[in-house]
Amino acid sequence: MKRTISLVLLVLGALANGLAAAESSSLPGGVAASVEQWLMRGHEAACQRAYVGTFVVTTGNYMSSSRIWHAGEGQQQMERVDALTGPPRSTFRHNDEVVTFLPDRRIVVQETREALGLFPNLLNRADAAVARFYRLSAVGQGRVAGLEADIVQLTPVDALRFGYQIWSEQKTGLVLKLQTLDGNGRILEQAAFSELQLDAPVNMADLKASMGNTQGYRVRTPNLVRTTVEQEGWTWSASVPGFQPLRCYKRVQGAAPAAGQLPLQCIFSDGLASVSLFVEPFDPSRHLRLVTHGQQPMGATHMRVRQLGNWWLTAVGEVPPQTLTAFVQALERKK
């Protein structure tokens, strides 16, 4: 749930007006060439939108919801997401800072968007992979949360990524609904506003004050060190088409051991879909259970694992399973 909301807010929220711009482009004749422009034009337009709404994610028979407040002032972006399903949780984001309040445990976790593996801020630059690996087409019109919407579809050109059908509010371009589709057009996951107030009086200063009010909570900040797979003693036997490495982190606790001995997380993206690859020492008591019980899909989210000597590799992402298999098979320990 947290990852899906993040994907929609940090990616599709950043594409507001981009969908409307796509509708005014020459979609039938020049779709491939216009995908990057469609993404980039939406990036700046979304920064000025303010809204409050209830957001519902449906995955198979499971449904969860959250309340969302969003405010933007130029390059300053703030969001608050309160979980309405499951344990209480409030997540704030100010640009790349992410703070999560867990009231039941009286804990606050301070992290960054990059370290969480949330969708990267790729829209600040033209990413040719999106235009190379997805095709944009107009579908029609519909209604979401009582608002008129235009519908477009992003169809992948290969079997290594899923497709998306996206509803955007006709006047503002704000994304109202997202469906993730498999290769047969089957809906794997749906995320949509059930109720939305556009141009709501959301005060950024109030959100920022709530984000910083940690009194009575224990504050935890994971100690992450940026690195590369090569620095940690790994190498790639092959690349996965379209997916570029964005960043790698190792988690440090206490005195830092020798290179290559710490749990490692690497994040990859094709400009829309993302994959997290985890590398850690093999622990039979934990890891062997994942071989038979831990690889079942959860909507669009899949996982693949591999034991490599004394190491355990885990790839997770909202991509087809064969994409994750390619990642875990391509990583090798240096001789």
Predicted confidence (pLDDT) at residue 17 exceeds the cutoff of 50: no
pLDDT at 296: 75
Distance between CA 335 and CA 330 in Å, rounded?
15
In this predicted model, what pLDDT tens digit does every residue of 225-276 receive, in sequence order?
A: 889 999 999 999 999 999 988 889 887 765 445 545 678 999 998 888 889 9
Sheet arrangement for strand 274-281: 224-227, 244-251, 264-269, 274-281, 311-317, 302-308
Mean pLDDT score, 13-39: 42
- Provide the sign of the torsion angle of the four alpha carbons 136, 139, 143, 149, taken in this order: positive
Residues 6+ apart with CB under 8 A from 249: 115, 224, 225, 226, 227, 264, 265, 266
How confident is the model at residue 214, as a pLDDT? 96
Neighbour-count burial for 233-250, b at 16+ CB within 10 Å, e otherwise: ebeeeeebebbeebbbbb
Q: Does residue 2 carry a pLDDT above 60?
A: no
Domain map of the chain by residue range? 2-219, 224-333
pLDDT at 127: 52
For residue 240, what pLDDT is reported?
94
**Burial letters for 166-205: b for 16+ Cβ neighbours within 10 Å, e otherwise?**
bbbbbebbbbbbbbbbeeeeeebbbbbbeebeeeeebebe
Contact 322, 230 (CB under 8 A): no
Residues 166, 13 contacting (CB under 8 angstroms): no
pLDDT-above-90 percentage for the chain: 49
For 141-172, write each residue's pLDDT tens digit: 999 999 999 888 999 999 999 999 988 888 87
- Lowest-pLDDT choice from 22-31, 51-60, 219-228: 22-31
Residues 6+ apart with CB under 8 A from 13: 46, 49, 70, 174, 175
Residue pair 145/53 in contact by the 8 Å Cβ criterion: yes
CATH superfamily membership of 224-333: MucB/RseB, C-terminal domain (3.30.200.100)
- List, as one string, the DSSP characters of 121-178: -GGGS--HHHHHHEEEEEEEEEEETTEEEEEEEEEESSTTS-EEEEEEETTT--EEEE
Question: 2-219: which CATH topology?
Answer: outer membrane lipoprotein receptor (LolB), chain A (2.50.20)
- For 300-311, what is each residue's pLDDT tens digit? 899 999 999 999
| pLDDT the model gives residue 36 | 56
pLDDT tens digit sequence for 170-205: 887 788 899 999 999 999 999 999 999 988 999 999
Within 10 angstroms of residue 212's Cβ, the number of other Cβ atoms is 11
287 or 328, which is more confident: 328
Contact 279, 264 (CB under 8 A): yes
For residues 135 and 33, what is the distance between their CA atoms, to the nearest angstrom? Answer: 9
Span 278-284, average pLDDT: 89
